[in-house]
Chain A
Amino acid sequence: MTSIEQYGQFETSWCPGCGNFPLLESLKKALMRLDLPPHRVMVSSGIGQAAKAPHYMHCHMFNGLHGRSLPVAQGMKMANPEMTVICQSGDGCVYGEGGNHFLAAIRRNMDITLLVHDNQIYGLTKGQASPTTQRGHVTKTQPGGAPSEAFNPVAVAVAMKAGFVARAFTGEPEHLTEMIVQAVSHPGFSLVDIFQPCVSFNKVNTFGWYKEHCRIIEDHDPTDWASAMALADEFGERIPLGVLYRGERPVLATSMPLARHRYGADALVAVLESYA
């Protein structure tokens, strides 16, 4: 049985009160509930405070480039389909710099889980608008208010019929843990977009703001695409939390760990023969 202690405790570089703390705790609890020991989990992350998360737990990790956590994660999964692969990134990392990879990963539908630490702001570079910052939100670099419409990741994912689409909030840690458990258990690409307040730079979407607006949904059938689409589109007075959509699509899978895969000499001879 996996215990949460196996995942360790580390000193972090996060601000006191940061939403990343409860998020990391929920992830560890979810992995414990899934009975996944650290050596069966590979975590890929990008750049940003969220992307440092795998440094703060025991697991295999590849902390790569800004926006590129999904290609790395998919490469990992293709090379060793027997491992659980989790991708951790912030909203700027995965929806901004990595936007094309986000769309492609949904289409590809590999069995990986994407956890987005979504605080609707660039934290590490000190407070610029991110793709999920609401239009009109004033920042130092957008003094007239963010000029672009906010990206709605869950609506896009549902529209593309991603395998598993959920929204969660670190202020509802039990629910968040449950969402991660379900996401990792889902065979295919899973997205959990997680509101994780930035206490230093987002003075609009604060812990209190999320607490006031987020509601755990009840009586929703996540296999009903039309009602999932309607829920995913809600972002205002009420923001629905929970599994918005779950679909069944063919999963792109490979057969065996490539580290053990070798070609036979006869096979290579036959390949060369074909050029005679």
Chain B
Amino acid sequence: MPDTSINIVIGGGAGQGLATVGQLMARAATRAGYHLLVNQDYMSRIRGGHNFFSIRMGAEPVMAIAEGIDVLVALDGRTIDEQSAQLNAGAIVIAGDTIDTAGLNALRVPFKELAPKPLFHNVAALGVLGAAVCGEVSILEDLLRQTFAKKGEAVVQANIEVVRKAHDWVGEQAFDFSCIAPPPEHPGKRLMLDGNEAIALGALAAGCNFVSFYPMTPATTVPITLIAKGAPLGLVHDQAEDEIAAINMAIGASYAGARALVATSGGGFALMTEGVSLAGVSETPLVVVVAQRPGPATGMATRTEQADLNLVLYSGHGEFPRAVFAPGTVEQCFYLTHRAFDLAEQYQTPMFVLTDQFLADSYRTVAPFDLGGLPEIAQPLLEAPSPYARYALTDDGVSPRMVPGFSEVLVRADSHEHDEHGRITEDAANRVRQNVKRLDKGNGLMQDVIGPEYYGPDESDEGADLVLLCWGSSLGACLEAAQTLNAKGLVRTTVLHFSQVYPLREEQFMDFLESAGQVVAVEGNATAQFARLVARETGFVVTGSVLRFDGRPLSPRYILKGLESIV
């Protein structure tokens, strides 16, 4: 019986077009009704090196990356050297006939014969790959038609010819590979997008109409998506001279009525932190996306890590409320970004979406987002009765926020301590009143906390033998690791995943943690930052941990191996 999931890896040097092959293949698989999860592994260089794009494709939902490879598309010889050790039994290698595949079960493709120009080699590779995994050529043809429509009919036809020829060529070959099982039934319309795209779309759905940014991997695709999809709708964008300018510009825009977002990574965010305090004291709504990569400083610029939780948690000087979201899936990227905007508007304080390179670049298949079910986002006032006090003391700490310019009422915002009217003052009693007012907004935020999700083997959440405590993008790997353990029937394992990592509400999870046999923190960092946060907030000390900080994403196999010495 054919497998219900396969892992396809396309490897090559930067600049060889492997991401194009990968994206087209992934989209074709999505349209054919498969589920998928993509991991992109790339080096910090423009040409050459060894990069790969892996597509785990399943007839059933897939949640995590897999190490073992079933189909390896090698666009260069180095890919064979780097990846062949990962080949599963029965795996097939697809490579050009000039590449040495000695000893491997290989489909050696005569690219020169199939494609008129080297430019078309990756489309030929797509055709071969599609045929090898038993895909229909019509799906590929439709995709190419859409992809190249802007370049004119001649280009479309040339590409279609190549893909058809490559597909047909595979039919004439004798090779040994069993196809993936067809999806049980077509799951209906789905979208294929990566984490950063979902963040950008969540922002658009929340009415985000301003983005300022300084390019930094792996955050840049958030503004790129906002510009590609939002600018035609009226989103205003600016590539700032640096991250300091980017956040201050967004704060200025937000003050003047824009719904603003900035996106960056650790090093850029470090520069932004004075601006974070400015948003806090001036009570200006702002959503900050931090896409983590390994630090300190430049670290490993294109790889993944979950080591900036502390940076975001403690960013900015002084005290003011905030919330930090850490999506674990592409769906959560969308919905939590939307929520971050809602809370930023409601509580007039900075909100954070903490993602990482793995999730940022990971394509997934998702059901279309429910636009109709999203809550209305709070609005600032355009007109208010005079007299008006921007920082009026209120029971919940939330003051009436007005946008300047729509009435004769004047709106003053200040980075200094200020009175209710926004006037600078060093009066001691006023300082206390305003500081308490700002912190009071935290009470509301606390009521709105999204609790962690339990993923247990049965209805009863409590009393698991083993709890994998995780946050952010590690969710999928933990779920599969737990599934494997539960299938063995030795330890009853539950995953406790936090998609909001700050603030925390003890009552949402403490009973669960205390009733567990053992709690193990699974995190993409070296010091178990989240487990320490839980200890700081609740006093609950997590003793075991599986930590990964080699720049690669957590995988089920990595977690299971790490658990061996603990459980």
Partner-B contacts on A (CB < 8 A): 37-40, 42, 44, 47, 52, 55, 58-65, 68, 70-80, 82-83, 100-101, 103-104, 108, 254-263, 265, 267-269, 271-272, 274-276
Whether A79 contacts B424 by the Cβ 8 Å rule is no
Q: Does B66 contact A (CB under 8 A)?
A: no
Q: Does B257 contact A (CB under 8 A)?
A: yes
B228 to chain A, nearest CB (A): 9
Query: Given A65-B274, A75-B248, A83–B256 Cβ distance below 8 Å?
Result: yes
Whether B412 contacts A256 by the Cβ 8 Å rule is no
Q: Which residues of B contact A42 (CB under 8 A)?
A: 256, 404-405
Interface residue from B248, B250, B259 paired with A65 (Cβ < 8 Å): B248
Whether B249 contacts A37 by the Cβ 8 Å rule is no
Q: Which residues of A contact B236 (CB under 8 A)?
A: 78-79, 254, 258
Whether B415 contacts A79 by the Cβ 8 Å rule is no
Partner-A contacts on B (CB < 8 A): 31, 189-193, 197, 201, 204-205, 207, 209-210, 212, 229, 233-234, 236, 238, 240-242, 244-246, 248-260, 274-275, 278, 282, 368-369, 371, 380, 382, 403-416, 422-424
A64 to chain B, nearest CB (A): 5
- Most B Cβ at <10 Å: residue of A40, A80, A267: A80
Whether B253 contacts A62 by the Cβ 8 Å rule is no
A39 to chain B, nearest CB (A): 5
Whether B210 contacts A37 by the Cβ 8 Å rule is no
Interface residue from A40, A62, A68, A254 paired with B405 (Cβ < 8 Å): A40
Whether B210 contacts A79 by the Cβ 8 Å rule is yes
Query: Given A272-B201, A275-B191, A68–B404 Cβ distance below 8 Å?
Result: no
Q: Which residues of B contact A40 (CB under 8 A)?
A: 405
Closest to A64 in B: B415
Whether A74 contacts B238 by the Cβ 8 Å rule is yes
Interface residue from A60, A71, A269 paired with B245 (Cβ < 8 Å): A71
Whether A263 contacts B207 by the Cβ 8 Å rule is yes
Q: Which residues of B contact A77 (CB under 8 A)?
A: 256
Interface residue from B234, B240, B258, B408 paired with A37 (Cβ < 8 Å): B408
Interface residue from A39, A74, A82, A276 paired with B410 (Cβ < 8 Å): A39
- Most B Cβ at <10 Å: residue of A58, A60, A61, A274: A60
Q: A65-B415, A68-B244, A74-B249 are in contact. List 10 more A-B contacts (CB 8 A).
A: A39-B408, A60-B412, A62-B414, A63-B412, A63-B415, A75-B212, A80-B405, A271-B229, A272-B191, A272-B369
Query: Given A79-B256, A268-B371, A64–B403 Cβ distance below 8 Å?
Result: no
Whether A63 contacts B413 by the Cβ 8 Å rule is yes
Whether A55 contacts B255 by the Cβ 8 Å rule is no
- Cα separation A211 to B255 with both chains bound (whole Å): 40
Q: Which residues of A contact B423 (CB under 8 A)?
A: 55
Whether A263 contacts B233 by the Cβ 8 Å rule is yes
Q: Which residues of B contact A258 (CB under 8 A)?
A: 209-210, 236, 253, 256-259
Closest to A72 in B: B252
B390 to chain A, nearest CB (A): 10
A103 to chain B, nearest CB (A): 7
- Cα separation A246 to B77 with both chains bound (whole Å): 60
A131 to chain B, nearest CB (A): 17
B237 to chain A, nearest CB (A): 9
* 10 nearest CB pairs, A to B: A259-B257, A75-B252, A72-B252, A71-B248, A75-B253, A79-B256, A104-B241, A60-B404, A75-B249, A79-B258
- Cα separation A39 to B388 with both chains bound (whole Å): 13
Q: Which residues of B contact A55 (CB under 8 A)?
A: 412, 414, 423-424
Query: Given A62-B255, A80-B257, A101–B415 Cβ distance below 8 Å?
Result: no
Whether A71 contacts B257 by the Cβ 8 Å rule is no
A89 to chain B, nearest CB (A): 13
Closest to B190 in A: A276
Q: Which residues of B contact A263 (CB under 8 A)?
A: 204, 207, 209, 233-234
A119 to chain B, nearest CB (A): 20
Whether A60 contacts B411 by the Cβ 8 Å rule is yes
Interface residue from B197, B258, B411 paired with A275 (Cβ < 8 Å): B197
Whether A65 contacts B191 by the Cβ 8 Å rule is no
Q: Which residues of A contact B382 (CB under 8 A)?
A: 259-260
A sample of 6 inter-chain contacts (CB < 8 A) reads A40-B405, A63-B414, A79-B258, A257-B406, A259-B380, A268-B205
